[in-house]
Structure 1
């Protein structure tokens, strides 16, 4: 790849340091990263790139990462707030990113490029010398007073937490200190030996496990303030004078000063930052003018953007003064346009605006989009052939990029099928690599997250991305790891009902230490009827589950020793066996039935798949493959796709529908609500717009004439896909050749409609979608009976929804609504009472007069409801005041604030679905659940809201579903339950019995054994409170040790505990040793292992014949004295073994038995 002479002159000019302004015209906005890459590579000077806003800055940073390499330093200087004058929480991640970047720059760390929105470049920040003085360097071998160190962390703005997962936090556990400094990707774990810093390791926040060790760590401040004392001394006189001059109440001033004394930033503190800290510098002050090149992403647009921002801040400043707020004017918080220009004047500047009359040097560099005009769902492959041929004739290097390896190979096959020469290159795309490549008479394909391509003959480049080719965005950042599904026992609270597999339903009263016959153990204390108490050693806690019934109130406690529990279990076991038999019979009939065998995917289908506007997540790709494979089988498909809200189930349905249409079959999409039908119609039509597929909806939004036309087109085969509510199940519906039925949220249809769906299952392929997550235990029980696909992976870039439960506060609601509107977004305001919804509208209009409020509810006329929804989707309204008609399927990325009035009246799963209507893009979303005073709410309502406030993470639906089943019962998950078997034994034991029954009927060994090996050894078994201080975490670890079915899992747990909490105490080592013995004994069919007084007893009550034969051989060989105690126990005298430990003796005996040839 070679540069033209004009490009070489431009690069040479910029490479020479000096106070000059260079103008480069002809650069399309999407192509700027390629110019930046050339400037970075060929001038060797660091770049400061100024963008108009945060979104543009983040895009440029991301694209530079892909072009210059992940190992290079491409920094982002964010603006951490929408406005300093709004009483909303500062974006903590952005604030940590800004402080971390400033600290690294202040220390002289070298970056190839820093990207910043112009407002962030104008933000007044602490001076570089202040950042250096407040950054502490820790090295291995340092002697540190840990108590004083903890105080220093708090003084520097770090928040103390139980578990470190977010920047700006720290945790202390014994000899370990975890901390997450601003501006780093991974937090650090400090391991002390006394007061000596012994080990420094990085660790992963999601797993808490360490990775590489390092020799030192730098700790910049986690807040812009000086120390608490210095801040208070600096701010008090100025704030007193300001409050006195503006007549601000002394109570308000006292609140601010008290917060500062505690080291906290009071609401709106960033409007006072120059008073609270030495915030007189700007980003430009952190650079050497002799080295830096400042690149303006269109200087005229930047100037206009900054002027508009300051104008808006002036209005907000005036409003803040009216509200009695302490605040400085915008020109004290940000550089004005003239001040910013003056600060940047000493640097070499490059402007990419179309026109710049003030520049010293002018260069023209035509850089355009390679394939302009691509639309979502379309393909530009025909245009690409012509453009590639033209580029290759002129000696330009042709490159195609793709962010997913599977998609890369798919597109390469498509290009090769059109006669192009294609080469898939190893390694990711890098600008340096392209610069060194020899010409190739074809298309080079690279794995890269590059979003936009470029057509620039002067650089010798023609680069095409999925966005250029299919209008499909690539995954620029990896999806977060799926969060582990926590055990229900982990959330046990004292007073909860639990089920013991052998003794029945009791009440959990906590974990206590108890001396049992075989030793001292930490035990679960369970109280039964008649004040009976059962102590269950924690290593045997696998037989205990939280009780979740069918929602009929609290269960009756069992009496220890009573036969009623075993009778109920026997009845439940029979019922589970009958249900398993019926389900297996239905499954077998479906497998034997004849259906349409759809054709395998061809290149046309692959081109359609490649046009998906996003990268598939791994789980989504697996679900698509499973659905398409089912459709190609000779028997009818009946698959359920379960995925959390917004995880991509609709695309699975679109792929299946397109496949059916390609084979000449019709598709019906059945949805529960009219609004969702319209949403799906828009989604399907947009996705299929570039293909000869007809699609329409049938709902009450359609006039009688429109419905008649659609019915005729269906009967004649002229309509390929129809989307509708239960209207599709009416008798007057006739299909010419229905091949696929897609059912969205089947559980929301009535019994009659479900029966009609059931009859359709016998003849056509059926794909069901649900956003109601299925707990893992039920999923395992149904494996092999119902074809299930689970999508657990969240889309990349999805942020957790910040959730607040609050009593009605007009000021708070007004701030929440106004904040969303001021950042250009929209709001769902849910009020589920039609009779007074107009009164609520009047209240909203009084709170936020500037907002455009639209109303939508199910009792409106068809035309009025459709008009309201369409107007809101077209951004003609700011706030949609609505009922629960928004609950299912709506996908509006512009809506990122949700207010639910009287949230206590909703069910947990319903609230979770409703909350999923916001946060569908990469913008931080907020959910406000407005409730009456907490003391007036029921216990269940408080529990529902507490659960939502706690589980805000993306993909937490599994946990929410489990808790919801506890609050309202198992419901429809297992189907009707007339005899009350779920109520009698709890859902977890019932699904265990169902799993067992399925395995027996299929003549396979059930994964969960029907007995639990008892280990009785006189050792102390517990996790000390001082070792793992958090009670919740202790229960999690107890549960893992008690339920693990692989010794390797116990080994992993041992490593995790040592990694997170330090060397294991002996009681924890013994806990894990007992757990390993339990697992090994269970595999051999040993009912009980007893080791005491020099003897080891193995009760082989459940052992298969091969194990019994091996034990008898041991008796004959007598490696140690062994005798048989009928009916099936073996007692070994191990007193002669070297180790006196009863644990070692038990391990020795199991090892001898395992060594036998089975």
Structure 2
């Protein structure tokens, strides 16, 4: 360690800040040493983003991660079209925040990123908002400032960058904050500041202050706009622009004026500044290191971007640090190099894995070399990484170079939206939505309508049916109305009110559900009774296998693994479904199960729907399992007949542990010596006959089914008793969000994007969703990028030709694959990290979500370019859809829509094709309700007659403006069961919307009173000025606990008279001295009787 530090210090003390011909592992130590030696902020500049990203990751493994910042660049394209992803923008703003704090950091960046203009430092400082409790802050000025610095006003705050205003309450979700803040003002005085939960919108912790920093890189006051607009016009008048560019420019100016899509206007920042400002201007005390890994005369350096900041780089310093060969576990090769190349070197080996450590110690012991005491070769973890320095005769190796071990990565990538709302209200009703009424069928929801009845205002759901017949559903019947959801936006036929067709449909669906569930329950019972194999645990070996996994397991993944391994220990055969997006780690769950099966001397059959997938899984299983002595074989058309016949023999003899393949493995000639585990990938993609064969195999064999399509959580809860399900919903920890750009199609963008990907050794998907014209598109791309190898694939190709094309692409024999949405399913190519989607505005959200998920499957930053016709100005739905896509990385609204569509398709996959048709006929929500009625003998909801009205069943729009939120509160009122629930809802309402008026409180008590009255059997309520009488029906009176009722009556605050007439109990409240409302008092009394509530009524008196 001393020698390496000495070498680094010599290089740094020469004063050179520009280094070339080096090795990343060494550079990480060089940068770290420089940082601590200079005690200042250090900017480390690379020519390319992928090099900077690798260094950012590497520095995090040897330093305090809080000291390392990343300042990435978006691709540079053209004069008018600029690209800016929200994720990269957020990362840059985070870096600016940290530099403004005045502390020292290592900032990893690129030459292009130094060209990015930022708002002047003084503007950043003046735009930061700090608010403390008891501060006076003009509310209107705060609203204006939030708008100016890039925050968007919404009715409900759900994600970072949102704020909302409801009376004296301002909710805001600052950039970088994990939770949003609720500011409660009295006039202009800040009375309280609380954190709240985006899922339930309730506050949970009081804090003293909040700091709000700009959400957008471009921010401005309205007063600054006119001057900047003139500067922009004057500048571009000097440029020779195409008409489409001029149209785009004027659209940009219009959007700037209306503060629309500000994040895409960062190219105009310099026109809002008086001086040019880049990231270097945010640090007073700084040093710059530029690194060109393999510099040639043609390597870009962009020295001007550094020189312009008064920082001058001396001549390049050749570090002469090189990367050694990889040995892939071949220690004899390493020993040969040791004897012939590194004989004069001191060799340091860093090993993290115990198994590898044992292997290397044993190997050198056989050579009479003690690696713990030898001066020539020794094991030490002082320096991790692999590089050699010929000048000082030093060689450093780690287990990645020696054994091809995978490094567990610790990515500290910040998401734009830290904790946005989950898919909490995909059933939220909006005007124009299709709804399904339990009794009347499918109609269209036209909004909330307030009407007066018996002098009291009431809210109704307005639904229109066939022939424009209107239905007004009162709030006490709200549970009868559900949002209609089906896959891919199927438009359902509107029902005729009062017709028999709907009743017949519902009866038919319910019967089919009954048949289906009976069949499932029978199968489930048979499996529970079947005799399976009890798999034993092998803790030490299984732990070693788990440590070999290159990623950190997510919580969901760990739960799924534990569920599967527990199932395998039961006496009945496992039948579990693992649901998780592609790349979320289902295969690792399958590998853990397979490893346990092998340890128990059982064989594993892994079925996949395509030969391409079979080959992919074969290679990943082979790499992982052969280290542990297991035999993995492949059965597909890519394997010769001779090899297949050999594998069949060896399977039967028990010499093959895991066999992976397509439906070929379901043939009658395939026999196992002792099959213990069946793994099925995407079972719904197999044919009917294959599924029947799978059923036969499953009877006494543990079975694990993997699917990438999610299902609705409500459906999962409904079928838990008949199907074992595990969900993996958390993406892997080391995944970079996909940088998503929505842009007009431009040849320069396509050319630049593909060339950038090729420059880092990667591949590109070009999604062209039309078979007609595909060959023409390939020809056009070949003219644009003649050096690229471009192929195409679509579903109408010959099956073998398609598979060969895909296989060649997976084997990295081509640079670009032009394809239809065939790439949507199953293809996993970690080396493909750019996707360009042609006419993205014509695809559905769920389709776009899945297609975009084909990239970003490795530790590299991935790019998705969603393009539309360059002369097309997107409006309304298309624009909303593509904007939603940009937010996909962080659970935006588009994510919710896509997840809903996918979940409905997933429900069809899990339940089968026939049931999928029934889901479409009644909608997902009602289907789930009918399923619960069948499985759990739940009663169908009853129509509650519009009864006596004591209060307004109405929520004032001045109090809660948005209809969908008012419906949400009506639902909550309908679900009240106790006085404690009432108090809890009142606290929530005050927290979210401010002081609750008396009418709304009484509405809550009335709802509770009626619910408790029904439970106790009250058949009549008689209400006079000073007296309320409850009469309980004769049959229910027989069930009343007289002693309990008498005791409660005697201890109540006001006199209660109990009577018994015509076998009916009468409870009479004398309220002549009462100041509280009778609904409130009777509800308290009934709550004490029905729910055994112990809370003293005095605790509630403050509520009226």
Q: Same fold (TM over 0.5)?
A: yes
* CA spacing shift, 1:51–1:525, aligned 2, 3 Å: same
Name the structure 2 match of 1:638. Answer: 575
2:434 maps to what in 1?
496
Which of 763, 774, 788 is equivalent to 1:826?
763
Matched, 1:277 2:273: yes
**Residue 484 (structure 1) aligns with:** 422
The reply to whether residue 471 of structure 1 matches residue 406 of structure 2 is: yes
Residue 621 of structure 1 aligns with which residue?
Answer: 558
- Could you state the TM-score of these two structures normalised by the residue count of structure 2? 0.78
Q: Find the counterpart in structure 1 of residue 351 from structure 2.
A: 371
C-alpha distance in 2 between matches for 1:390 and 1:1107: 84
- Partners of 1:267 and 1:907 in 2: how far apart? 24
DSSP-derived class of the 1:1121 partner: strand
Alignment partner, residue 612 of structure 2: 675
Tell me: CA distance 1:991–1:889, structure 2 relative to 1, closer, same or farther (3 Å). same
Equivalent residue, structure 2, for 1:1025 = 957
Aligned to 1:881: 818
Give the 5 Å matches for 1:22-61: 29-30=24-25, 45-52=39-46, 54=49
- Contact 2:1022 2:1028 (C-alpha < 8 Å) held by counterparts: yes
Instruction: Identify the match of residue 233 of structure 1 among 206, 227, 237.
Output: 227
Offset at 1:712?
Answer: 3.1
**Superposed displacement of residue 613, structure 1:** 1.2
Alignment of 1:663-702 (within 5 A): 663-702=600-639
In the alignment, the residues of structure 1 paired with residue 1034 and residue 301 of structure 2 have an alpha-carbon distance, to the nearest angstrom, of: 80
Instruction: Say if 1:221 and 1:527 are closer, same or farther in 2 by CA, change over 3 A.
Output: closer
Task: Give the secondary-structure state (helix, strand or coil) at the position aligned to 2:620.
Answer: helix
**Distance in 2 between the 1:671 and 1:280 partners?**
57
Size of the alignment, in residue pairs?
1044
Distance 1:969 1:682 in 2: 28
Q: How far 1:657 moved relative to its partner?
A: 1.8
After superposition, give the CA deviation of every residue in 1:534-567 in whole Å (9 maximum; x if it has no partner): 544446523322245799973563646x898778
Q: What is the Cα deviation at residue 785 of structure 1?
A: 1.4
Shift of 1:879: 2.0
Partner of 1:193: 186
2:1071 matched residue in structure 1: 1135
SS in 2 for 1:687: helix
Q: Which residue of 1 aligns with 2:1088?
A: 1152
Deviation at 1:471, TM superposition (A): 1.6
How far did 1:606 drift? 1.8
Matches within 5 A, 1:835-914: 836-846=773-783, 849=786, 851-857=788-794, 865=802, 867-899=804-836, 912-914=849-851
1:523 pairs with 2:460: yes
Match of 1:657, SS state, is helix
Q: Which deviates the most, 488-497 or 1042-1051?
A: 1042-1051
Structure 1 partner of 2:544: 607
**1:172 to 2:185 alignment:** no
Contact 2:232 2:271 in 1 (8 A): yes
Q: Are 2:751 and 1:782 aligned? A: no
User: Over residues 640-695 of structure 1, what are the superposed CA-to-partner deviations in whole Å (9 max), with x where a residue is unaligned?
Assistant: 11223332111111222222222222222222222222222222223324222222
1:1019-1059: per-residue Cα shift (whole Å, max 9, x none)?
Answer: 33444434444444444454455458898887776555544
Residue aligning to 1:301: 292
Is 1:741–1:765's contact at 8 Å kept on the other side of the alignment?
Answer: yes
Quick one: structure 1 residues 585 and 1128, their matched pair in 2 at CA, closer, same or farther if it must change by over 3 Å? farther
Aligned partner of 2:327 in structure 1 is: none
- SS of residue paired to 2:542: helix
Q: Give 1:408's aligned residue.
A: none
Structure 1 residue 110 and structure 2 residue 106: aligned?
no
TM superposition shift of 1:743:
1.3
SS across alignment from 1:889: coil
- What is the Cα deviation at residue 19 of structure 1? 11
Which deviates the most, 1068-1077 or 751-760?
A: 1068-1077
User: Is the partner of 2:826 in helix, strand or coil?
Assistant: coil
Cα RMSD of the aligned pairs, angstroms, is 5.7
| 1:853 Cα offset (Å) | 1.4
Partner residue, 2:209: 215
CA distance in 2, matches of 1:233, 1:1110: 83
1:508 partnered with 2:445: yes
Q: Is the 8 A contact 2:199 2:424 kept in 1?
A: no
**SS, match of residue 589 in structure 1:** helix
**1108-1117 or 512-521, which deviates more:** 1108-1117
Report if the CA contact (8 A) 2:57-2:410 is conserved: no
Q: Does 1:926 align with 2:864?
A: yes
The alignment partner of 1:777 has SS state of helix
Query: How far apart are the structure 2 equivalents of 1:352 and 1:9?
Result: 13
Contact 1:800 1:925 in 2 (8 A): no
Secondary structure of the residue aligned to 1:672 is coil
Match of 1:736 among 673, 683, 693: 673
**Following the alignment from structure 2 to structure 1, what is the Cα–Cα distance between the partners of residues 251 and 602?**
69
Maintained 8 Å contact 2:169/2:182? yes
Normalized against structure 1, the TM-score is what? Answer: 0.75
Once the two structures are superposed, residues 979-1005 of structure 1 have per-residue CA deviations (whole angstroms, 9 ceiling, x without a partner) of: 9976776553443343344345xxxxx
Over 3 Å counting, the alpha-carbon distance change for 1:1066 and 1:978 in structure 2 is same
Deviation at 1:927?
6.1
My pick for the range that moved more, 671-680 or 276-285, is 276-285
- Structure 1: stretches of 5+ with no match in the other structure: 312-333, 357-364, 401-433, 435-449, 1001-1005
Distance in 1, matches of 2:80 and 2:693, equals 54
Task: Tell me, yes or no, if the aligned pair for 1:490 and 1:1039 is still in contact at 8 Å.
Answer: no
Q: 1:648 aligns with which of 560, 585, 588?
A: 585
In the TM superposition, what is the alpha-carbon distance from 1:913 to its structure 2 partner?
Answer: 3.8
> 2:76 touches 2:83 (CA, 8 Å); kept in 1?
no
**TM superposition shift of 1:608:** 0.8
Relative to structure 2, which stretch is displaced further, 530-539 or 780-789?
A: 530-539
Aligned equivalents of 1:975, 1:610: Cα separation in 2: 38
Distance in 1 of aligned mates of 2:708 and 2:51: 33
2:329 counterpart residue number: none
Deviation track 1:789-847 (CA, whole Å, cap 9, x = no partner) reads 12222323546667789998878867776776678753323446656532332243355
1:672-821 equivalent positions in 2, closer than 5 A: 672-796=609-733, 798=735
Distance 2:622 2:1034 in 1: 64
SS in 2 for 1:881: strand
Shift of residue 965 of structure 1?
7.6
Tell me, what secondary structure is at the counterpart of 2:83?
A: coil
Query: Relative to structure 1, is the Cα distance of residues 223 and 881 closer, same or farther in structure 2, using a 3 angstrom cutoff?
Result: closer
Uncovered stretches (5+) of structure 2, i.e. residues with no partner: 323-344, 390-395, 1095-1104
1:588 to 512, 519, 525: 525
SS of corresponding position for 1:752: helix
Structure 1 residues 1149, 772: closer, same or farther in 2, change over 3 A? same
User: What corresponds to 2:311 in structure 1?
Assistant: 342
CA–CA separation in structure 1 for the residues paired with 2:702 and 2:467: 55
Deviation at 1:612, TM superposition (A): 1.0
CA gap of 1:969–1:239, structure 2 versus 1, over 3 A, is: closer
- In the alignment, the residues of structure 2 paired with residue 1124 and residue 508 of structure 1 have an alpha-carbon distance, to the nearest angstrom, of 48
Q: CA deviation at 1:279?
A: 4.3
Describe the SS at the equivalent of 1:767.
strand
Secondary structure of 2:604's partner?
A: strand
Distance 1:535 1:73, change over 3 A: farther
Change (3 A) 1:465 1:668: closer
Preserved CA contact (<8 Å) 2:845 2:881: yes
Tell me how far 1:746 sits from its aligned partner: 1.4
